[in-house]
Amino acid sequence: MKNDNLKFKIFVIFLILLSTFYFLLFSSVLADEPGGDDFVYLFHLYYDNDQLFADRDFEFKYDVIPEEFKSEILVTQFPFKGEVINFKNEVAASFLFDPRKGDRGFLKGKVAVKAPYIPDADKVYFYDNQGNQLLTFFVGESSFCDDDGICNVEKGENEQTCSNDCKAIPTTDDQRPATDGEGLSGMAWTLIILVLASIGAGGWYFWRKRKMVEHVQEDQFTNKLG
């Protein structure tokens, strides 16, 4: 019986360690992954003595990449500015940046500037540190929300991504629609399966141990009768 108790303790410890390992692994993966709706513009520019130009070495002057936008940490008191303009000609977002990255000796060269992605963006304006407009990028081709007053769900428009086209309809708690999330990831399903498997294995072990104890008790009772 002592050996059975020792095996049981080792088995329980193994299940706990296994579940903890996969929980920590799953948590770290979620922490490293950007949100499903997080994107930024990456503009390829050329800086030349306080002037900005589109970098001619790039076929596409900007990219849209999956990343959470974070404001640039500035070390200058006179940063450049950018504005994202939507199809309704409104300023949807603005951002500050320093093309010299704090290096006063940098007078000309390639620079990459990130800006927050806006689903209904039409263009992006770039200004120098005096407020003079230097450059305009048209980004409408990468926007799926067109501010046409029609909620095109098949294009990805919804209340969160395209509020100008998809107006929220007031609902009660009983009428509130289910969320349209993307569902659980493969790692989440793996964790769930492992936890269920661990519970099943633990239940099987308890059942097997109980049967063994009942069998021993029956044998002892039979021996006493004999």
Write the Ramachandran bin of 147: left for phi over 0, alpha for psi from -120 to 50, otherwise beta: left
Cα dihedral value 66, 70, 73, 74, nearest 10:
90
Q: How many residues does the chain have?
A: 226
Per-run averaged pLDDT (10 residues), the chain, 226 residues: 62 70 58 63 96 95 95 94 96 96 94 96 97 96 91 86 78 49 58 73 70 63 58
| pLDDT for residue 185 | 56
Structure tokens at 52: 């900005």
DSSP-derived 3-state class of residue 85: strand
Structure tokens at 175: 């009428």
Least Cα distance to 162 among 64, 37, 36 occurs for 37
**CA pair distance 22, 26, nearest whole angstrom:** 6
**CA pair distance 140, 147, nearest whole angstrom:** 11
